[in-house]
A and B are shown apart, each in its own frame.
Chain A
Amino acid sequence: MFKKSRLIGEYFMQGDIACAEGALAAGCRFFGGYPITPASEIAERMAMRLPLLRGVFIQYEDEIASIAGILGASWAGAKSMTATSGPGISLMTENIGLGMMMEAPCVVVNVQRGSPSTGLPTSWGQSDMMQARWGSHGDYGSISLVPNSPQEFFDLTITAFNFSEKYRLPVFIMADALVGHMTEKVVIPPVEELEIIDRKYTNKKPEDYLPYDYGKNLIPDFAKAGDGYRYHTTGLTHDKRGYPNMTFECQNELVPRLVNKIKNHVDDISLTEEYDIEGADVIVISYGITSRTILPAITMAKKKGIKIGYLRLKTVWPFPEEKIRKLSKKVAGFVVPEMNLGQISLEVERCAHNDSIVKLVPHPGGGIHKFEDVLHAIEEVAYGK
Chain B
Amino acid sequence: MANNTAQLQEKSHPMEDLLRMDRMPHIWCSGCGLGSAVTAFVEGLKKAGVSYDKTAIVSGIGCTGRVAGYLRLDSYHTTHGRAIPFATGLKLANRDLTVVVFSGDGDLFAIGGNHLIHAARRNVDINVICVNNFIYGMTGGQNAPTTPLGAYSSTAPFGNYEMPFNLVGLAAASGASYVARWTTMHARRLTDSIATAANKKGFCFIEIVSPCPTVFARKNKGGTGLDMLKEFQTRAIIDHDADPTTIPLNMDNEIVCGEFVNDDRPTFWENVQAGIKARLEKFANWEEMQSNSRKISHKKDRKYTSSRDSSIMRRNT
Contact = CB atoms under 8 A, between A and B. Distances in A.
Interface size class, chain B: 35 or more
Interface stretch (A226-234, A255-263, A346-354): A226-234
A244 B27 CA distance: 12
Nearest to A29: B93
A234 B69 contact: yes
A295 interface: yes
A231 B74 contact: yes
A187 B304 contact: yes
Nearest to B77: A234
A66 interface: yes
Contact of A232 (B69, B79, B86): B69
B90 A243 contact: no
B274 to A, nearest CB: 12
Contact of A65 (B85, B90, B290): B85
B94 A235 contact: no
B252 interface: no
Contacts of B86: 68-69, 71-72
Interface string A22-52: 0000000110100000000000000000011
Given A66-B85, A76-B93, A310-B310, A9 B53 contact: no
A310 B315 CA distance: 14
A302 interface: yes
B74 A72 contact: no
B78 A235 contact: yes
Contacts of B68: 232, 234
Interface stretch (A56-64, A125-133, A358-366): A56-64
A235 B114 contact: no
Given A8-B296, A56-B93, A155 B307 contact: yes
B46 interface: no
A296 to B, nearest CB: 8
A10 interface: yes
Among A3, A56, A149, chain B packs the most CB atoms within 10 A around the CB of A56
B302 interface: yes
Interface string B1-45: 000000000000000000010110000000000000000000000
B77 A276 contact: no
Interface string A189-202: 11001000000000
Given A76-B90, A76-B94, A227 B312 contact: no
Contact of B69 (A7, A58, A62, A243): A243
Contact of B92 (A30, A152, A189, A310): A30
B128 to A, nearest CB: 14
A334 interface: no
B313 A72 contact: no
A225 B126 CA distance: 15
Contacts of B74: 75, 225-226, 229-231
Given A3-B289, A149-B308, A299-B316, A75 B76 contact: yes
Given A58-B88, A298-B312, A68 B79 contact: yes
A235 B58 contact: no
Contacts of A32: 85, 89
Contacts of B81: 64
B85 A69 contact: yes
Contacts of A273: 307, 309-310
Of the listed residues A95, A187, A227, A232, the one surrounded by the most CB atoms of chain B closer than 10 A to its CB is A232
Question: How many interface residues does chain A have, given as a range?
Answer: 35 or more
Given A30-B89, A69-B88, A189 B283 contact: no
A143 interface: no
Contact of A7 (B52, B268, B296): B296
B96 A226 contact: yes
A282 to B, nearest CB: 14
A230 B52 contact: yes
Nearest to A291: B310
Nearest to B303: A187
A339 interface: no
A226 B54 contact: yes
Nearest to A193: B304
Contacts of B286: 52
A299 B312 CA distance: 7
A372 B88 CA distance: 52
Please indicate which of the listed interface residues B76, B89, B92, B299 has the most CB atoms of chain A within 10 Å of its own CB: B89
Contacts of A298: 312-313
Interface of A: 2-5, 7-10, 29-30, 32, 51-52, 56, 58, 60-62, 64-66, 68-78, 80, 94-95, 98, 102, 148-149, 151-152, 155, 187, 189-190, 193, 224-236, 241, 243-244, 273, 275-276, 291-292, 295, 298-299, 302, 310, 312, 314
9 shortest interchain CB distances as A-B pairs: A72-B89, A275-B313, A69-B89, A65-B85, A76-B93, A234-B77, A9-B296, A73-B93, A72-B90
12 contacts: A29-B93, A75-B74, A78-B93, A98-B78, A102-B76, A151-B308, A224-B94, A226-B96, A226-B97, A228-B53, A232-B76, A241-B22
Interface of B: 20, 22-23, 52-54, 56, 58, 68-69, 72-79, 81-82, 84-94, 96-97, 114-115, 118, 268, 272, 276, 279-280, 283, 286, 289-290, 292-294, 296-299, 302, 304-310, 312-314, 316-317
